Structure 1
């Protein structure tokens, strides 16, 4: 089996990221900082020793705007993958984390404890459902692009799933890794399975990037 190398990229910063507001499927665009981050990520990847040869993106605006800048820098066509959208957060979408905790304490507790089968009211999605759609899509990409280097622009919740899938960690385990805006996450799919090469690279940025969680 040929080795396929993936660069999973979180989208650039949005106004709602800056406000610690939960986005989900709400179609929020990048702010000026996010557009700048996307430009820097594109230049960095274009100058890499083995730049990506295939480019995918979630179809949500914040991911597409990021991916369009990567596409311009890399000279690649952009393919959309709706399966790599963010998790659907239902009634939580549009609220800050503090607002969600105050208005829906029981739901927030289930969310905070990462209960795998908990789905948010008003069309929300469980972690188990998210895991199935995300891993199914990246496995299909692996099969479709043997030996390629594939860049994929996606979201924090999707990257959370990918990290756990690759490391074989349970969905309910507290997160122990960062997911910064336009962080570069390099993952390899080989005959013996998936492995992480590096995670949350931000050397391409001229200053720090936001993570929706306050990890030490």
Structure 2
């Protein structure tokens, strides 16, 4: 039975992460801390025998992937389906501003209403189908291989929930830190989380965010 191993890495820190500002699909670059985190991750990831590297096309993820791409000498394959959820009217606002300006909308977001789409954004149901579909597609193209995937916190949450059979309403009791490394094994028997939120490589880097968007 072939085992497919995915190493999924969240992007490094941005200034908006540090501020508590909603990013979603707004294209925000890494901060100096985030760039250092990306380099630190590469120093660990290059020791593994990957056959392919995928990344969201947003700049904060591409910048996180670039040091690993150079060390591993593999082409970077961009996939827009690996993007973060589109947060519509929430994007560019601080979370404190979202709560004060849109209390009813924020309550629906906190309840994980699967059909709430931030008026101009993406519902949880649609995001789940899109993001998990992208990761499944990568796994299907690389059966029996070990693949490196750089993406966003929301995508990683969908992967974890799928692997652990957690519904949308189940509390999120797992971290998704900036530049955290996560390993998932996929077989015909299902998905299994082997390691989650590993940040041992970031001991010399500051990190303030554990799952903001």
TM-score range, shorter chain: over 0.9
| Secondary structure in structure 1 of the residue aligned to 2:201 | coil
Paired residues, number: 211
Aligned-residue RMSD, C-alpha: 1.3
Partner of 1:183: 180
**Alpha carbons of 1:141 and 1:179: their partners in 2 closer, same or farther (altered >3 Å)?**
same
Q: In structure 2, which of residues 84, 94, 97 is the aligned counterpart of residue 96 of structure 1? A: 94
CA deviation after TM superposition for structure 1 residue 210, in Å: 3.0
Partner of 2:27: 27
Q: In structure 2, which of residues 169, 183, 187 is the aligned counterpart of residue 172 of structure 1? A: 169
| Secondary structure in structure 1 of the residue aligned to 2:17 | helix
Partner of 2:13: 13
Structure 1 distance, partners of 2:35, 2:137, is: 29
Structure 2 distance, partners of 1:114, 1:166, is: 19
Structure 2 distance, partners of 1:42, 1:52, is: 12
* Cα shift readout 1:68-114 (whole Å, capped 9, x = no counterpart): 11101211110001101000000100111111000000000011111
CA deviation after TM superposition for structure 1 residue 2, in Å: 1.4
Structure 2 distance, partners of 1:55, 1:132, is: 22
Mapped pair 1:149 → 2:146:
yes
Structure 1 distance, partners of 2:169, 2:121, is: 17
Mapped pair 1:61 → 2:63:
no
| Secondary structure in structure 1 of the residue aligned to 2:200 | coil
**Alpha carbons of 1:98 and 1:212: their partners in 2 closer, same or farther (altered >3 Å)?**
farther
Partner of 1:204: 201
Structure 2 distance, partners of 1:209, 1:73, is: 23
Mapped pair 1:52 → 2:50:
yes
Partner of 1:117: 115
Structure 1 distance, partners of 2:146, 2:136, is: 14
Comparing 14-23 with 111-120, greater Cα deviation is found at: 111-120
Structure 1 distance, partners of 2:142, 2:113, is: 34
If the length of structure 1 is used for normalisation, what is the TM-score? 0.94
Structure 2 distance, partners of 1:19, 1:184, is: 23
Structure 2 distance, partners of 1:65, 1:213, is: 18
